[in-house]
Structure 1
Amino acid sequence: MKPSTLGPAGPSRPVSGPWSAGQWGLLLVLAGNMLIDSLEVSTAVVALPSIGRDLALPLSALQAVVTGFALGFGALLLFGGRVVGRFGRRRVYLAALLGFAAASVAGGLADGPALLIASRVVKGFCAALTAPTGLAIITTAFPEGRARSRAVSVYAFVGACGFTGGLVLSGLLTGVDWRWTFLFPAPVVLALFAVGLRLIPADGPGGRARPCDPAGAAALTGCLAALVTGVVQVPGRGWDSPLAAGAFAVAALLLGVFVRAERRAPDPLFRPGLLAHRGLARAMLGAVALNGSYLGFLLVATFQLQTTEGWSPVRTALALLPASVPLVLAAPFSGRLIDRFGTRRLIALGAPAPLLGYLLYLRALTPQPAYATEVLPTVLLVGLGFALGFTALNVQATAGLPAADRPVAVGHYQTAVQTAAVVAPALVTALLIASGAPAAEPAEGYRSALWLVIALGALGPPAALLRPVRRSGPGRAAGRRTPARP
């Protein structure tokens, strides 16, 4: 009789051969939750104008609906890894699913900005607990080799599809009621919880739990939140207003608290020494340019097309959809592309494409822009940049690092990505407010915000072209031709 590979308590060890029904079910739970996490990045963007009209929220508050998720994800990602290490993957993963469902209901029923934004932060923290943990569970439940590679590929492909699906789903649900964009994950996540309760494996014997460092995590989260608050208040109130000046002062104070807490911590969350590895530093800068500029562009395009041009949420979502399609199509072949061309070449080829697209979008800042000639080229070029650079940047972040440092490096890399997703939309929002957008007629009020997006995108090519540190021996080409693979 063939032994079961998965049961209520999970597998004791990965077993080679065809996947069992339990393994398929486990992958369904993990990939399904990854899909929900990815959807959350984009579902709120298209809904923002409708939320603003319904709740009478200014643009300064609306941007926090987007940045709140990234704030909870990025600022608490390193802390979340410590929580998982202390309390166990299974326990934390299941608790995070319940927290995500509860926050989804709270956000969908919110009648003001406080609860809506708070629910987004909570969902971001839950994603910080489940996204990396799901990948770790795969490595223990599936045997090393082809079976694990297939499982990781499915996991990554579903995540890539999530952003695409989020745009379309947001447009469709917002056409009914924007609240459904926040409510719909709740029943899905609860179903994943019910299945995962049986299939998510129990934790095997582990090493000593590392300190969680809640002081450092709280200080970093508060610092970013205060910084964003100050940035979006400046256009309407001025640099010397009590709210803006106070927010910047709090951000500076909390940054000092974070630095001091990290220096005193026996096992700090943040390890500056890792940034001396040029491959990681280049990957972080490239990801900041790619992710930050794209989210800023989505804000500009969404408000221009919906508020100024009068497009419906569905039409706006479909107009932006082609930006995500190339990544979805390229995801299954990303490993082969990296093996063939190396991470550095792919990043160097992909980085200029979004920058060129944003420059071309300057032509669309006119009344009644033509989609085929003025909007679509930008969308396709951004998609090309993601298709070439997204996976390559992730791989480059750990290439050439010792195996023991790679999990920490991934955490630092993802923190940089999500920090860009917090700061970039806030800066774009501040410029939109200062220039009179989204009420500007015609769309000239969006020009200064788009130039900021262009400046962020311009960081990508230099990051790609910086030469890696040369090493002697077999590891010399690690960041170029033989990247480390997850």
Structure 2
Amino acid sequence: MSTSVTPNDGLSGGQVRAESGAELPESGAQASGEGAGKWPTRWWVALLVASGVILLDGLDISMISVATPEIREALGMSASSAQWLVGAYILAFGGFLLLGGRCADLFGQRRVLIIAMSVFAVVSLLGAFADSSTLLVISRFIKGMAAAFTAPAAMSLLTTTFPEGPHRNKAFGIYNVFEAVGFSSGLIVGGLIAAVDWRAIFIMPVPISVLILLAVLKFVPKDLPRAERQRTDIGGGITLVGGMLLLVYTVVAAEHNGWASLSTVLGFVVAALLLVAFVTIERKVKDPLVRLGIFRDRTLVGANLSIGLLYGAAMGFQFVFGVYLQNINGWSPWQMGLTMLPAGLMVVVLGPLLGPLMDRYGVRKVLMTGLLSFLPCYGLLLLMGDEPNLWILLPVSVLWGIGFALSIATLMVAGTNGIADEEQGLASGLLTSSLQVGGAFGLAIVAATIAPGTELDMLYAGVVAMLILSVLALLPQLLRKRG
């Protein structure tokens, strides 16, 4: 791992792309001269730790999503307050992600993982015994904040352990499987557990958190000391976190407050001012929290744009699918989870093959195949009738799984390839932050388009919005010149 970085240079040294506009490689094998030999034990440990973290995140958010009705009834929560069981987590996760990623770079991946995972486990356990909705929402916010530090630290551990090329491509394919399994299984498991006792949902992540924590303590090497100690960029940290928190909060609350309301408009304006202040501080401070030169890398910027728009459409899809199956047709959460099972199976099947596919056909071709899969997937939803049709639901689920399997991990590979080790946490935080903020924006946009009601005709407007987001996700990749 590299030990230092010149704060204000235009590009990273040592391991950066040959030029900021470098293209996605047509073959992963060309990016690395190493073959796909046997992995040493420390590589497997890094992969299992990173995969365990993303599995835990997927389980947690999906289980709470399907259990919200039971929690709301048990604690007497209103509809507006119940949305914050998920919203508080998303708010903290999106607000602290960039800071969490940079802390992994500055203070060490192992140290950040140990502290944040410990907080995640303790707060999850405390949430199981919360006797008021306020305490439960607060616990969800703290868990989201802890996850904002574990997610980029774990991904940074993955990218700094595996060299670019076949090894990293294969690792990301397996990592992607855990992500999909966590979310899809959480929908089914969460629905079943909530029917018995919703408090068990908060206990379930605890043993998984403890296992990950023990693996980090025992097997992950101690962080190497940095050659130079950076000054604490307090102003940058405050404006970054403040701006991101307010941005995500405004998006999440817009559905309730209204997009044209004074609170929404002011929220966006103040968030923009805080982020402008952050950029101004970073340009002048000696040791910036975020080196702005990283944004000169057009491949990284394109990956961030695509992953945000892609996940925005994906979150909208889950919302529309849920409204159609549960609200209109009265299906239970676990029945909806079974409908999405083919999507999860496609990710499980394609995940281990993703590395070889990228090595053989190149990152760009695999990515474009994945992004294009969402167009017929969402287009088929326009054929939905009053009653669910298996011959429509099945290909929709399969195509969504193919698109998810081939796109998310491939964008992560594209966005982190060529980034110096000491900035992998930042790059990982940027990608994950774009994914989460994009998801919140997409969900809010789709929800707003069908706000007048939940009739079948209203859902079609949401589907059109998803298709537009999917086309926009394609544009940053289509506009890039092939190398």
> C-alpha displacement at 1:272, in angstroms?
4.8
Instruction: From 376, 400, 408, give the equivalent of 1:390.
Output: 408
Instruction: From 135, 159, 165, give the equivalent of 2:185.
Output: 165
Instruction: Find the counterpart in structure 2 of residue 9 from structure 1.
Output: none
Q: 1:74 to 1:247 in 2, by over 3 A?
A: closer
> C-alpha displacement at 1:394, in angstroms?
1.6
Note if contact 1:50-1:174 (Cα within 8 Å) is conserved in structure 2: yes
Q: 1:139 to 1:399 in 2, by over 3 A?
A: closer
Structure 2 residue 209 is matched with structure 1 residue 189: yes
Identity %: 34
Instruction: From 232, 246, 251, give the equivalent of 1:223.
Output: 246
Instruction: Find the counterpart in structure 2 of residue 444 from structure 1.
Output: 457
Q: 1:253 to 1:136 in 2, by over 3 A?
A: closer
Note if contact 1:223-1:254 (Cα within 8 Å) is conserved in structure 2: no
Mapped partners of 1:278, 1:258: distance in 2: 21
Instruction: Find the counterpart in structure 1 of residue 13 from structure 2.
Output: none
Instruction: From 278, 293, 299, give the equivalent of 2:298.
Output: 278
Instruction: Find the counterpart in structure 2 of residue 5 from structure 1.
Output: none
Total equivalences in the alignment: 444
Instruction: Find the counterpart in structure 2 of residue 435 from structure 1.
Output: 452
Note if contact 1:428-1:453 (Cα within 8 Å) is conserved in structure 2: yes
Note if contact 1:68-1:120 (Cα within 8 Å) is conserved in structure 2: yes
> C-alpha displacement at 1:33, in angstroms?
3.3
Instruction: Find the counterpart in structure 1 of residue 325 from structure 2.
Output: 305
Structure 2 residue 454 is matched with structure 1 residue 417: no
> C-alpha displacement at 1:338, in angstroms?
0.9
Paired amino acid for 2:411: L
> C-alpha displacement at 1:98, in angstroms?
1.5
Mapped partners of 2:206, 2:289: distance in 1: 31
Q: 1:245 to 1:391 in 2, by over 3 A?
A: closer
Paired amino acid for 2:462: A
Note if contact 2:255-2:447 (Cα within 8 Å) is conserved in structure 1: yes
Mapped partners of 1:195, 1:404: distance in 2: 23
Which deviates the most, 297-306 or 102-111? Answer: 102-111
Note if contact 1:29-1:195 (Cα within 8 Å) is conserved in structure 2: yes
Q: TM-score by structure 2 length?
A: 0.78
Instruction: Find the counterpart in structure 2 of residue 65 from structure 1.
Output: 85
Q: 1:348 to 1:125 in 2, by over 3 A?
A: same
> C-alpha displacement at 1:308, in angstroms?
2.5
Instruction: Find the counterpart in structure 2 of residue 367 from structure 1.
Output: 386
Instruction: Find the counterpart in structure 1 of residue 148 from structure 2.
Output: 128
Structure 2 residue 93 is matched with structure 1 residue 103: no
Mapped partners of 1:306, 1:179: distance in 2: 23
SS of the aligned residue for 1:205 comes to coil
Instruction: Find the counterpart in structure 1 of residue 260 from structure 2.
Output: 239
Q: TM-score by structure 1 length?
A: 0.78
Q: Cα deviations across residues 173-230 of structure 1 (Å, max 9, x unaligned)? A: 2332333333311233234434544444322333334435421332233322442255
Instruction: Find the counterpart in structure 2 of residue 289 from structure 1.
Output: 309
> C-alpha displacement at 1:93, in angstroms?
1.7
Structure 2 residue 340 is matched with structure 1 residue 327: no
> C-alpha displacement at 1:393, in angstroms?
1.4
Instruction: Find the counterpart in structure 2 of residue 317 from structure 1.
Output: 337
Structure 2 residue 60 is matched with structure 1 residue 40: yes
> C-alpha displacement at 1:277, in angstroms?
3.0
Instruction: From 278, 282, 305, give the equivalent of 1:262.
Output: 282
Mapped partners of 1:430, 1:145: distance in 2: 42
Which has the bigger relative contact order, CA under 8 A and spacing at least 6?
2
SS of the aligned residue for 1:324 comes to helix
SS of the aligned residue for 1:458 comes to helix
